[in-house]
Structure 1
Amino acid sequence: MTDHPATPDAGVEVLVLTGMSGAGRSTAANALEDMDWYVVDNLPPQMIAPLVELVARADGKLPKVAVVADVRGRGMFSALEEAIADYQDQGIGVRVLFLDASDEVLVRRFESVRRPHPLQADGTLIEGIEAERSALAGIRSRADITIDTSDLNVHQLGAEVRRAFGHEGSDALRITVMSFGFKYGIPKDADNVADVRFLPNPYWIPHLREFTGQDAPVADYVLAQPGALAFVDRYCSALDVVIEGYLRENRTYATVAIGCTGGKHRSVALTEQLARRLADRTPAAVTVRHRDLGRE
């Protein structure tokens, strides 16, 4: 690796796509290709600097380049963290997208395809996963965007990548407001988490149970409860400060997660309301996702 990596032109985007094996790198790479990114798979870390130099000399012909890097590089993989650190420490525009998933989900995915983990060798599958997680800890800490794919199918992961990278020519912050159920776990990729279980649960009202927070009867009931609209008002005010900070720090993507017990009634209604408020009062592009809607 060179001591002074080449600097991409101002109009060039360079993205390093990495993360845990089985977390969905191929799906993410396909989504980037669909958005006209030039994707280079399994590039040795030592080749990142020459690639960036090539991009800088391409006169805009390669405006968006994504490098897929993973532990298939084996001994060369430690150089990836060093290369990323060099670029980021110098303020050069190379971003990192890190894909993660829980150990339990990764085990199920490897078992379903009946393939060994690339670091498993003669050990167990979970030992291979643990070794990879340890090797990637430094790179994960430098990631600009981390997506936890534990609860995402390939279509949902593609949508998350498109939300993060699909707005050409825009530097605006993109915010996903996500509802979820605490009984299914807190989203690991959430930047802010709020608990709305302080409100009465429509589940216990027979004529509302089968509806969701997207339906008017439930939404009206939830928003009419004491403290509901006050929560939205004050949480929006708190997020104003956070969003201003994200914009100063050039963050491009953030997730605000709103949780209730099952992710069907209260969190859904308040997520919809909060997203509308944020869209009206911030320069961010706001989208809504209901993670656990439809679960039993």
Structure 2
Amino acid sequence: MKLVIISGLSGSGKSIALDTLEDCGYYCIDNLPVALLQDFIDHVMLEDRETYKKTAIGIDARNQTEYLADFPEKLKFIRSKGIECEVVYMQAEENIILKRYSETRRRHPLTTASRPLREALEIEQQVLRPVAAHADIIVDTSFTHYHQLRDLLKNRLGEKGKGNLSILFQSFGFKYGIPLDADFVFDARSLPNPYWAPELRGFNGKDQAVIDFLENEVIVKEFLQDIGQFIERWAPRFESDNRSYLTIAIGCTGGQHRSVFLVEALSQYFKSKIPNVIVRHRELR
């Protein structure tokens, strides 16, 4: 049996996540109180294993704070029952969430007549810390649109054999901010930049002209080799520590040329070594 718990900040995409999992065959329940989680496992999931063999539950800040504080114990209980449980925590930058609420004109669940939205967001982050601290996957949706988020969740939560590590290689531009969900961040801004070659400026790191340019630079080869050796050495340590997911982010100035090339090259190399390799180019549209 498999249980996915979706939590995170309001406005970060939790509803999209649950809808995506429902499309993937999960039985989905939104906003289940943490206080009822143990009873749900005992008296619903375990008594009807066929119906609830793949279940997703949404847990948010509308729970009382003391119940959310008990989340780590509830998680231990779930796993003690032999249920494969993964916790997905979703977040986004504060200014992005504020913009989303402004555009949709929806009310944040923690706002009141005397509590503005920004203050509600701060409280929400505090009360959800016990959940965030035990997340198997942290998804930052600040720069992710609807279809990208759906594809990302489908890839990351797809069925895979026990003990297999899933690695997400992500390119990004430093000028737009560092990904908050990255486990390791590598800075490629010291490498030769195709942007300054006028004939290459309109291309990106997936185009052959840019690939040829970067493959001819010795320092690029050395950089690529060093990152590859680092991942080969340390990825098995994460897997042996029961980590299921690892996010490697590589950034350049604009996220168009060097970082895209490096992510493509690394993903191709590791696809022959690791069963679950995912690629995301944050700044490419």
What is the TM-score normalised by the length of structure 1? 0.89
Amino acid at match of 1:196: A
**Secondary structure of 1:17's aligned partner:** strand
Amino acid at match of 1:286: V
Q: Which residue of 1 aligns with 2:72?
A: 84
1:25 maps onto 2:14 in alignment: yes
C-alpha contact (below 8 Å) 2:38/2:78 kept by paired residues: no
> Aligned partners of 1:78 and 1:95: how far apart in 2?
22
> Aligned partners of 1:142 and 1:263: how far apart in 2?
30
Deviation at 1:246, TM superposition (A): 2.0
Among 200, 203, 210, which residue is 2:195 paired with?
203
Q: Which residue of 2 aligns with 1:66?
A: 56
Amino acid at match of 2:239: L
Moved more, 60-69 or 199-208: 60-69
Q: Deviations over 1:124-169 (max 9, x none)?
A: 1101111111111222111111101111111111111111112255
C-alpha contact (below 8 Å) 1:179/1:289 kept by paired residues: yes
Identity, in percent, stands at: 35
Question: Map of 1:91-106 to 2, 5 A cutoff?
Answer: 91-92=79-80, 93-106=84-97
Instruction: Report how many residues are paired.
Output: 280
Among 270, 273, 285, which residue is 2:276 paired with?
285
Deviation at 1:214, TM superposition (A): 0.6
In structure 1, the gaps of 5 or more residues are: 1-11
Q: Which residue of 2 aligns with 1:112?
A: 103
> Aligned partners of 2:97 and 2:190: how far apart in 1?
34
Deviation at 1:89, TM superposition (A): 7.7
Amino acid at match of 2:56: A
Deviation at 1:286, TM superposition (A): 1.0
Deviation at 1:38, TM superposition (A): 0.8
Question: Map of 1:90-169 to 2, 5 A cutoff?
Answer: 91-92=79-80, 93-121=84-112, 122-167=114-159
Amino acid at match of 1:109: R
Amino acid at match of 1:38: Y
C-alpha contact (below 8 Å) 2:71/2:130 kept by paired residues: no
**Secondary structure of 1:146's aligned partner:** strand
Moved more, 205-214 or 229-238: 229-238
What is the TM-score normalised by the length of structure 2? 0.92
Deviation at 1:258, TM superposition (A): 0.9
Deviation at 1:14, TM superposition (A): 1.5
In structure 2, the gaps of 5 or more residues are: none
Deviation at 1:198, TM superposition (A): 1.4
> Aligned partners of 2:250 and 2:181: how far apart in 1?
13
